[in-house]
Amino acid sequence: MAAGVAVAGVVGVGVLAFGGGRGSGVRDEGGGPPATAEIVRTDLVLSKTVDGQVDFAGRRPVKSAVEGTVTVAAREGATVRQGQALYELDDKPVTLLYGQVPAFREMRKGSRGSDVLQLERNLRDLGYGSGLYVDPRYDAATEAAVKRWQRSLNRTPTGRVGRGEVVFLPGRIKVVSADAALADQVGPDKAVLTAASPTPVVRAELEQADGSLAEPGTKAEVTLSDGRKVRGTVTGTVRPEETEDAPAGDGITVEIALRGGASALSAKAARETASVTFVAKSRRGVLAVPVEAVVALRGENGGYGLQLVPGRGEPRMVRVETGMTADGNIEVSGSELREGLRVGVAVQ
C-alpha cells in the first residue's frame, strides 16, 4: 500500500463536463485524455503550520507573604512536590502544600475556614493525620498534627502555621526560574521564584479565521528546535502575554499539551521556539486522485466522474463519490475503483 501524506490546500474539481445517463453508467464524450494519473491509497491531511513557543502550563510568580532574607534559593528546573521546601527564608523552609486557596493568614487553634481544611488534608496525606478529623476547624487534633509535622522539619513545634511558612498551589510544580538569589531581601512585592505545572506545553498564535483549530482536542504535531517531533493536543485558549516590546496581537493564543514530553523537556527548553502543525481534518488510507481528474457530469443525475483508462480498450467514464481535498488531491470512492488504476487528467 502506498504511503503518503498530502498537506493542506483546498482545491476545486476539474471543469470538463460529460453527458449523464440513467443508472451508474456514464456516456464518455471526451475521447482519450490529454494525460493520466494513478489512483493511489494515501492519507489526506488538512493542516496549518505556525510558529510556537515551548513553555510549561500555569506559569505564575510565587512571592513571599512576609519580608525576609533568602537563605536557600529555589533551584531552577527542580520539580517540587507536596511537603517539600520551595526555598528557605530566614533559615526556615517555606513548604509547598496542595490547595486552591492561598495561605493568607496565620492558622492556629480556633481558626476556621477553607484554608484550614486544605491544611488538614495535607497533614493527612503527608502521614501526620493520626486522630485528625478533616474539616474546616483548627482544633486540638489539628494543633497536635501540626506539631508532629513541624518536628519533622526541625522547626519549633508551635502548633501554629504562620504567614509565609507554607505556599498552597494546586499540585506539584516545576521551578521554571529562580527570581531571587541567595541573600536577596524579598517580600510581598517581589517574586522569589516562578512556578509552573511540570506539564510541558507549546503556545502558538492563530488568526481569528482559524478559530476552529483552537477547539480543545484538535491534534497538532510540534517540531522542537532540535528537530524532534512531539505530538500534542490543543487544551484551549490562553491570554496572550503582553510586554512593552511585544503588545498582544489580535489573534488567538492556544495552548497545546505535549504527549509524553514531560520527561524529555527541561526548564531550559522553556521559551524556545517550535514549529506547530495543526491537523484540522484527516482521512487515513483513502483512494485519491489529482483533483484535475474529477469531472462534473451533466444531466439530471449530475455528480462527478472519473475517466478510467485501461491498459487495453477504450477509456470509459464511471460515476464516483468525492470526499476531502488536500494539496491538489481528492478522495474518491466507487464500486469500480481500486488502487493502481489509471484515470484521465485534464491539463491545467
* 216 and 289 within one domain: no
DSSP assignment of 233-262, as one string? EEEEE-PPP--SSS---SSEEEEEEETT-T
Q: Which domain holds residue 305?
A: 5-47+283-345
- Work out the average pLDDT over 289-307: 89
Same domain, 66 and 169: yes
Which uninterrupted H or E stretch holds 61?
strand 60-63
pLDDT digits 0-9 by tens, 177-205: 999 999 999 999 999 999 998 888 899 99
Domain termination residue (choose one: 281, 314, 329): 281
Same domain, 115 and 192: yes
pLDDT at residue 277 greater than cutoff 60: yes
Do 223 and 109 fall within a single domain? Answer: no
pLDDT of 247 higher than 90: no
Q: What is the dihedral of CA 136, 134, 122, 60, to 10 degrees?
A: -30
pLDDT value of residue 175: 94
pLDDT at position 246, please? 46
pLDDT > 90: percent of the chain: 58
pTM over 0.75: no
Question: What CATH number is given to the structural domain containing 104?
Answer: 1.10.101.10
Would you call 70 helix, strand, or coil by DSSP? strand
Do 172 and 123 share a structural domain?
Answer: yes
Split into its structural domains, the chain has a count of 3
Q: Are residues 191 and 65 in the same domain?
A: yes
Same domain, 207 and 325: no
Q: Are residues 102 and 210 in the same domain?
A: no
Same domain, 189 and 224: no
The percent of residues above 70 in pLDDT, for the chain, comes to 84
What is residue 228's predicted lDDT score, i.e. its pLDDT?
A: 83
Give dist(CA 203, CA 251) in Å, integer.
12
For position 258, which CATH number holds?
Answer: 2.40.30.170
Residues 155 and 86 in one domain: yes
Place of cell 528546573: 77
In this structure, are 190 and 171 located in the same domain? yes
Contact 329, 290 (CB under 8 A): yes
The pLDDT tens digits of the residues spanning 129-188 come to 988 999 999 999 999 999 999 999 989 999 999 999 999 999 999 999 999 999 999 999
Average pLDDT, the chain: 85
| pLDDT at residue 24 is higher than 60 | no
> Residue 17 is part of a domain; what is its CATH number?
2.40.420
Provide the grid cell at 183. Answer: 541573600
**The pLDDT value given to residue 128:** 96
Between CA 339 and CA 45 the distance in angstroms is 19
Of 178, 196, 214, the one marking the end of a domain is 196
CA-CA-CA-CA torsion for 195, 135, 126, 86, nearest 10 degrees?
A: 20
pLDDT given at position 3: 39
Q: Residues in the chain, how many?
A: 348
Q: In the listed set 254, 281, 308, which residue is the last one of a domain according to the structure?
A: 281
Do 257 and 290 belong together in one domain? no
Q: How confident is the model at residue 98 (pLDDT cuts 50, 70, 90)?
A: very high
Per-residue confidence band for 47, with pLDDT thresholds at 50, 70 and 90 = confident
